[in-house]
A and B are shown apart, each in its own frame.
Chain A
Amino acid sequence: MTTTETPPLPTTGRRQVGDSVFAGAAKAAGILILVVLAGVAIFLVTEAAPAITAAPEDVPGGEGLAAYIGPLIFGTLLAAVIALVVATPLAVGIALFITYFAPRKLAQTLGYVVDLLAAIPSVVFGFWGIFALAPALVPLFGWLEDNLGFIPLFAGPASSTGRTMLTAGLVLAVMILPIISAISREVFRQAPALHQEAALALGATRWEMIKMAVLPYGRSGVIGGAMLGLGRALGETLAIALVLSVSGGITFNLISSGNPSTIAANIALNFPESTGLDVNTLIASGLALFVITLAVNMAARYVVNRRADFTE
């Protein structure tokens, strides 16, 4: 080897060009996301402002913005809550089945199959809701009216098309099922194996092991997952727009054909034909939806992240 003199170590000016350009680009992209989210809020407020400041009689319906949006918010919440009530226990069951009960070799495949539900576009769920689910539920609605009609939820008269709030809620339930079950599966799988083995070593049956070592650990994860599902259900558009037969205002009657619409479905159905203040009103309702889902999602993230802090 010939001894060559080492070149002096280069200094700051020259070296950092590539690095600072690249780091700058990455940082700019991150900041862009903050800007976009701020933009969503700002543009929605800007475009909603004319409707908020307009005279009540100019707003569609003629009774002001609150009277217009109120029933929509009610409908949105009602459909989402039905979906949540139906989907959460099912999703937890599915998650437990896949993580602890299904044969090991099949488990992964079964997980994929459930995830397929998440891949189906919402407009297709709407098609299925109208043509398959709604007609299939008509006899059930009749039965509910005859036998449980004393409960206000099932007061009737039962819809003859099946396009009711309950149907819409069930379609939503199917749609949010994969979200809740995916998150539940994740937290169940992360339950410490040591605790599970300890429970089994004490002579627990499989269910007792799950009750002791898995469910307590996964509870807040499941709650967070359910709230994320709720967020999705609140904003779901096309399935509701297609399935729900809309007329009238606030009612708890789930099986009649007179239902309040939801914010998202109402926008989808009316936006293409709207002009002027109607557009601003719809955007104002979208702003309300944005605020509601934002609150739900932040709360959900808070619950999920608190769990993460707790376990790490």
Chain B
Amino acid sequence: MAKRIEVSDLDIFYGNFKAVEGVNVSIEPRSVTALIGPSGCGKSTFLRSLNRMHEVIPGARVEGKVVMDGQNLYDPDTDPVAVRRQIGMVFQRPNPFPTMSIYDNVVAGVRLNGGRMKKSDTDAIVERSLQSANLWNEVKDRLDRPGAGLSGGQQQRLCIARAIAVEPQVLLMDEPCSALDPISTLAIEDLMTELKDRFTIVIVTHNLQQAARVSEQTGFFNLNGVGQPGRLIEFNPTEKIFSNPDVKATEDYISGRFG
């Protein structure tokens, strides 16, 4: 599992407004790639364009290429639903399905994709996914309880378990810890380090320490002014970005001079 994603000349639009311009990047498999930058610079928009979640918003569209495993995700014949099955996503706010139990939440992706499965198979998926999300020991006695009854950090790990239960190639995380307390944040960061052996992980974060702690590669997004499109300013190994960046703006941002 885990695949490389090649992005070339990607422009992202909301209606006529160009939100992100000219992104060229190669995201390495089996590693964590962090995207940082000031608010409104388009890093979340870019992340959402990687699994075609972007186009869920009316009027949103994309120009350019995103290639995974030799296939263009934006090929006219490609089904966005199939893309999302290969590239999962975890959101800023934990969003377990309120009508479903913990168990049902984990297998939601599998079941909603239309698969009829034996109970023993789903049992195995639930245990494996929750184990992977470091949540199994905390919830194994109450799998039939509503998922919304867990704490915020547990809910977020449940959402991660739900995302990896469908065995995607890539896991996108959109500020997954920004709604969580420090201890839950630490748990998720540990989890990312474990998961990167099996998945390509891309994370958007506002927390520079977090980017430094968990990622191998870091991309810095910025925009020249309000109403201008965001751009990928620099993409380098995390160590380099945080010690000796190529671009002045990156250094200014890292050292807290703006943003």
- Give A contacts to B, CB under 8 Å: 1, 3-4, 6, 8-12, 14-16
CA A11 to CA B72, docked complex, whole Å: 12
Cβ 8 A contact of B78, one of A3, A4, A11 = A11
Report yes or no: B77 in contact with A12, Cβ–Cβ below 8 A: yes
Residues of chain A within 8 A (CB-CB) of B81 are 15
- Are A6 and B169 closer than 8 Å at their CB atoms? yes
Write out the residue numbers on chain B whose beta carbons fall within 8 Å of the beta carbon of A6. Answer: 3, 69, 86, 169
How far is the CB of A2 from the nearest CB of chain B, in Å?
9
Count of B interface residues, CB-CB < 8 Å: 16
Q: Are A9 and B1 in contact (CB under 8 A)?
A: no
B225 to chain A, nearest CB (A): 28
Chain A-chain B contacts (Cβ-Cβ < 8 Å), number:
30
Does B143 have its Cβ within 8 Å of any Cβ on chain A? Answer: no
- Complex Cα gap A4–B198 (Å): 13
Q: Which residue of A lies closest to B72 (CB)?
A: A9
Given contacts A3-B1, A6-B69, 9 further A-B contacts (CB under 8 A): A1-B1, A1-B198, A6-B3, A8-B71, A9-B73, A9-B82, A12-B77, A12-B79, A14-B79
Question: A16–B80 Cα gap in the complex (Å)?
Answer: 10
The chain A residue sitting closest to B77, CB to CB, is: A11
* Contacts known (A6-B69, A8-B71, A9-B71); A15 close to B82, Cβ less than 8 A: yes
Choose one: B3, B83, B198; the contact of A9 (CB below 8 Å).
B83
Would A11 and B1 count as touching, CB distance under 8 A? no
Q: Closest B-chain residue to A16, C-beta based? A: B79
Which of chain A's residues have a CB closer than 8 A to the CB of B86? Answer: 6, 9
Which chain A residues lie closer than 8 Å to B71 at the CB level? 8-9
Q: How far is the CB of A13 from chain B (nearest CB, A)?
A: 8
A34 CB → nearest B CB, Å: 22
Residue picked from A9, A10, A11, A15, most chain B C-beta under 10 Å: A9
